[in-house]
Amino acid sequence: MLVLPYNFTCFYSILMADKQPKPVATPTKEAAPAAAAKPDKAGKEKKKRGKPRNYDLGSGVYRFSRTRMYHKKAVFKFLAKKTPKKVKPKKPITVEKPIGGEKNGGHRIVLLKKRRNYYPTADKIKKRPAKKLFSQHRRYTRPSLVPGTIVILLAGVQKGKRVVLLKRLNSGLLLITGPLKVNGCPLRRVSQNYVIATSTRLSLKGFKLPKHIDDSYFKRNKPKRTKKEDGDIFNQKKEAYKPSEQRKMDQKEVDKQLVEIINKHPEKKDVFRYLVAMFGLRSNQYPHRLKF
C-alpha cells in the first residue's frame, strides 16, 4: 500500500475539487427580479416593505439582543445631543435714578412696583353659600299618604282626630283639614311623622284647592317690638291669634267641597261617624297589631 505524505494529499484534493462541475444556482426569491409594484386606488405605486433586521425567532427570542441593536442603531451618538434651553430675559425690578444734592449720593435705586402701605392683620372672611339649602332638599313622603286619605293625628292640639289629607306642600309638610264643620279641625300643616295613614280614602275628583294656599299662607306676621319705656314692660299684653277673614272664607270653601264629596260616598253616614269619632286604644289593644 502506497502511503502519500500529508501535504501531497491536501494538494491532490484541491486539484480534484476544481475539476468537478460546479452546481447551477437555482433562482431564489431574493435573486428573482423584483416584480413591478402594483398601483393602489389613488394610482400611486406602493412601496414594498422589507423584512426588519431584528425579528422574532420564536417564543419571544429575537435575532439580535438589546445591546447589539443599541450599537447597530448607534443610539449613543444621539444621547449627548440636547436642545439648549431658551433663557427668557428677566424684567428689571429696580431702576437707578439720579438725585441732586451734595450729600444725597448722586443716585438712588428705586422699585418699579411700589409695595403696599397697608397690610391687614387677618384675612377677610369670604361669604360662601351653603352647599345645599333646606329649601332645595328633596322631599319624601310615604306611599300610603295620598291626597284623599283619612289620617289620624298623633300630636298637637288636634291629636286623636281623624282628618282628610288634601295635599303635600313644597316644604314636605302635609296639608290637612277636618273638615272644620265635622270635627272642628281647620286647615293646617302637619309633619308626616305625627300621622297614621288609614286604608279609608275619599275620591277628591273635582276638588279644587285655592292656589294661594301654600307654605307662605300659614306664616304668622310678627309685630315689631316697641322701644322699652318706663311703665310699658308690664302693661303690654300678648294678643291672641285670630284667623283673618281670608282664612275664614277659604275654610268655608274647602269644607263645602269636602262635605259634597262625602255625601256622594255610598257609606256617607259611616264616613261622617268615622271622622267625628276620636281615636284611642283600649286595654289589650296594640297599635302594631291593628289594621288601620
- Cβ-Cβ contacts under 8 Å for 216 (sequence gap 6 or more): none
Q: Is 103 domain-assigned?
A: no
Q: Is 12 domain-assigned?
A: no
Candidate from 72-76, 166-170, 188-192 with smallest mean pLDDT: 72-76
For residue 204, give the C-alpha cell: 277628591
Residue 269: is its pLDDT beyond 70? yes
Provide the number of structural domains found in the chain: 1
Cβ atoms 201, 150 nearer than 8 A? yes
pLDDT on residue 18: 52
Give CA 41 to chain center in angstroms.
51
Q: Is 195 domain-assigned?
A: yes
- Name the burial class of residue 72, with classes exposed (0-12), middle (13-18) and buried (19+) by CB atoms within 10 angstroms of its CB: exposed
The pLDDT of 253-261, averaged and rounded, is 93
pLDDT on residue 143: 93
pLDDT on residue 26: 46
- Beta bridge partner(s), residue 108: 97
Does the bond joining 39 to the residue before it have cis omega, within 30 degrees of 0? no
Single-letter code of the amino acid located at 104:
N
Model confidence at 193, pLDDT cuts 50, 70, 90, reads very high
Residue 275: is its pLDDT beyond 80? yes
CATH of the domain at 164: 2.30.30.30
Q: Is 135 domain-assigned?
A: no
pLDDT on residue 43: 64
Cα three-residue angle 144-146-150, rounded to 5 degrees: 85
Q: Which residues of 22-59 are buried (b: 16+ CB within 10 A; e: fewer)?
A: eeeeeeeeeeeeeeeeeeeeeeeeeeeeeeeeeeeeee
Q: Is 166 domain-assigned?
A: yes
Q: Is 109 domain-assigned?
A: no
Q: What is the pLDDT of residues 36-69, one digit of tens each?
A: 556 665 666 777 778 888 999 988 899 999 999 9
Cβ atoms 151, 196 nearer than 8 A? yes
Residue closest to 223 by CA, chosen among 206, 209, 241, 235: 241
**Residue % of the chain over a pLDDT of 90:** 39
Number of H helices, E strands in the chain: 6, 9
pLDDT on residue 25: 47
Q: Is 172 domain-assigned?
A: yes
Does the bond joining 287 to the residue before it have cis omega, within 30 degrees of 0? no
The answer to whether the predicted template modeling score (pTM) of the entire model surpasses 0.85 is no
Residue closest to 251 by CA, chosen among 205, 213, 288, 195: 213
Round the average pLDDT of the chain to a whole number and report it.
82
Q: How far is CA 44 from CA 3, 38, 48, 50, 183, in A?
A: 72, 9, 12, 19, 97
Range of the domain at 151: 140-219+267-281
Q: Is 273 domain-assigned?
A: yes
